[in-house]
């Protein structure tokens, strides 16, 4: 199993290499050179597996010779032992044909724990193995967060040997609980950095630092955002798990239509890879908030960056440019932009890299690019999309809280549920056996202000203490450590250098 960059200048990379490097040297994202072929009997052989067992079988398909099956199993078991339910990602039924896949049962109560508990253990495993052969290997993990990635990365990496982690967050643009989850972790290898700006500013700084070849080598930078392939790989597992759970509860012909709250596109990209591996999926539905670049693309064929980020009740999705969309665009270019006269697979891949690089350059210089009508039609075959405004987010939370049985949604999950309800007739038209499975990305207690506003404004009462997870009790009063930094890659680089020198 080898990996290439979407930009075309890097190829033939091992799984270990792409995990440690994170972002390709040419600025692209790593993708498999070829997708693996699953065992012919996977639908029966894997049907009764536990989540860790299923994740082991899937991840093992992508690691080549870098990890044995036993090593994958041990890493997976260690990663998901931190979750509060043996199911890891249980599914809850809202109505006859609508379900919520709860992805928030990890240590930070967000879906990103599924990937980042695993990635943290991968980092540590690979570094320890390298150091056993020749000492001195360290990693400086640098990441940007709109809220949940930061705490999940910190909890996945805190106390890990030979790893320093720097997490950039936009000051005042994450929830109080999200900020506290990050900044109250006082482990010596954890460094929180607040930036005056937006998540996109933080993400741009991270990408610029990775683009500085000398700085990247000197500090051995590693990526923890979903630009790291291992993040996407780990998330593929819960699509398969939901498929099997749905069939166990609703029969052998039941088929999921996954509705996914989408910001940086990593969560639903995992669904695209699951489908590409052969998972039967009725439809993948992108659910956006007011920051709707993905919804607008599927409607127009033009990927256009807005001038400003809109602040919404679902802040983890307040993103102008969805970094992981680049991976899907590469496949779109290869299959629908490269002329059919080009038949050699390697030549088609190379041409796709060229087209993708041109698109990314136009996005950077002109703020937008457009795909061909054929490519847009192909994208619409894979994805539907819908948009949810702030008013609809609040009303969806209130409606499901007051419904019998009551279910409390966080604002990001509410975006997905609203879009599922908006597209109910279209999804049901796919067949009586099709069920909407809405991915629930965070525990509602992480967004207390939005949840309480939604419930109270609708005239209902909520005892928030009754839903508060034990780790959140007293969290806001704990001591904190955070470095306030200028909105500048130079300033962040200097801070990283200062910390390294102090060590």
Residues tagged active-site: 112
**CB atoms closer than 10 angstroms to residue 418:** 26
Total number of residues shown for the chain = 503
Pull the structure tokens for residue 392. 């609809």
Q: Are residues 444 and 431 in contact, defined by beta-carbon separation less than 8 angstroms?
A: no
Residues 411 and 447: beta-carbon distance below 8 Å? yes
259 within 8 A of 253, measured Cβ to Cβ: no
Q: Are 421 and 428 in contact (CB under 8 A)?
A: no
Helices marked H in 9-161 — which ranges? Answer: 15-21, 42-45, 51-60, 69-80, 112-133, 148-157
Count CA atoms within 13 Å of residue 382 on its CB side: 20
What is the rounded distance in angstroms from the CA atom of residue 51 to the CA atom of residue 36?
20
φ/ψ region of 286 (left if φ > 0, alpha if ψ in -120 to 50, else beta) reads beta
Nearest to 112 by CA among 142, 78, 70, 156: 156
Distances in Å between the Cα of 50 and the Cα atoms of 77, 86, 230, 441 are 11, 8, 20, 21
User: Taking the CA of residue 471 as centre, how many other CA atoms within 13 Å lie in the half-sphere pointing to its CB?
Assistant: 17
Find out whether the peptide bond into 60 is cis, omega within 30 degrees of 0. Answer: no
DSSP 110: B
Neighbours of 340 (CB within 10 A): 8
Identify the CA nearest to 441 among candidates 273, 257, 237, 259.
259
User: Could you tell me whether strands 283-288 and 383-387 are parallel, antiparallel, or unpaired per DSSP bridges?
Assistant: parallel
Is residue 242 classed exposed, middle or buried when 0-12, 13-18 and 19+ CB atoms within 10 A define those classes?
buried
* Pairing status of strand 283-288 against strand 255-261: parallel
What are the b/e assignments for 246-271, b being 16+ CB within 10 Å? bbeebeeebbbbbbbbbbbbbbbbbb
Direct distance between the N- and C-terminal alpha carbons of the chain, in angstroms, rounded to an integer: 37
């Amino acid at each position: 199993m080898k990996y290439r960059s979407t930009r075309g200048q890097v190829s033939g990379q091992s799984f270990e290499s792409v995990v440690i490097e994170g972002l390709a040297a040419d600025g692209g994202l790593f993708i498999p050179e070829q997708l693996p072929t699953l065992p012919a009997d996977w639908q029966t052989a894997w049907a009764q597996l536990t989540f860790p067992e299923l994740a082991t079988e899937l991840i093992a398909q992508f690691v080549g010779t870098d990890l044995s099956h036993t090593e994958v199993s041990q890493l997976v078991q260690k990663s998901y032992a931190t979750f509060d339910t043996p199911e890891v990602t249980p599914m809850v039924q809202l109505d006859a044909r609508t379900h919520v896949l709860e992805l928030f049962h990890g240590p930070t109560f967000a879906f990103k724990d599924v990937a980042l508990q695993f990635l943290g253990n991968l980092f540590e495993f690979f570094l320890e193995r390298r150091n056993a052969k020749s000492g001195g290997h360290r990693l400086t993990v640098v990441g940007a967060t709109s809220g949940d990635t930061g705490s999940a990365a910190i909890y996945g990496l805190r106390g890990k040997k030979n790893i320093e982690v720097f997490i950039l967050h936009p000051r005042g643009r994450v929830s109080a609980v999200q900020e506290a989850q990050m900044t109250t972790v006082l482990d010596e290898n954890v460094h929180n950095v607040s930036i005056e700006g937006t998540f996109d500013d933080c993400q741009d700084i991270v990408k610029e630092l990775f683009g500085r070849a000398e700085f990247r080598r000197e500090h051995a930078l590693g990526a923890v955002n979903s630009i790291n392939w291992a993040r996407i790989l780990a998330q593929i597992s819960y699509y398969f798990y939901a498929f099997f759970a749905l069939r166990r509860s609703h029969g052998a012909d039941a088929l999921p239509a996954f509705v996914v709250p989408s910001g940086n596109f990593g969560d639903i990209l995992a669904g695209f890879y699951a489908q590409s591996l052969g998972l039967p999926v009725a439809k993948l539905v992108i659910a956006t908030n007011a920051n709707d670049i993905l919804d607008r693309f599927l409607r127009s064929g033009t990927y256009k960056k807005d001038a400003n980020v809109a602040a919404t009740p679902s802040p983890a999705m307040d993103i102008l440019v969805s970094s992981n969309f680049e991976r899907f665009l590469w496949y779109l270019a290869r299959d629908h932009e490269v002329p059919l006269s080009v038949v050699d697979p390697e030549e088609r891949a190379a041409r796709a890299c060229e087209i993708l690089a041109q698109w990314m350059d136009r996005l950077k210089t002109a703020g937008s690019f457009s795909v061909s009508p054929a490519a847009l039609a192909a994208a619409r075959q894979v994805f539907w999309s819908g948009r949810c405004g702030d008013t609809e987010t609040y009303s969806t939370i209130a409606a499901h809280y007051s419904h019998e049985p009551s279910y409390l949604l966080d604002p990001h999950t509410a975006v997905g549920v609203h879009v599922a309800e908006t597209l109910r007739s279209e999804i049901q038209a796919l067949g009586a056996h099709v069920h909407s499975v809405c991915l629930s990305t965070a525990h509602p207690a992480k967004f207390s202000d939005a949840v309480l506003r939604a419930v109270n404004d609708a005239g209902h009462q909520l005892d928030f203490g009754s839903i508060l997870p034990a780790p959140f009790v007293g969290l806001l009063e704990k001591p904190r450590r955070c470095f306030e930094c200028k909105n500048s890659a130079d300033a962040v680089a200097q801070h990283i250098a200062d910390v390294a020198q102090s060590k």
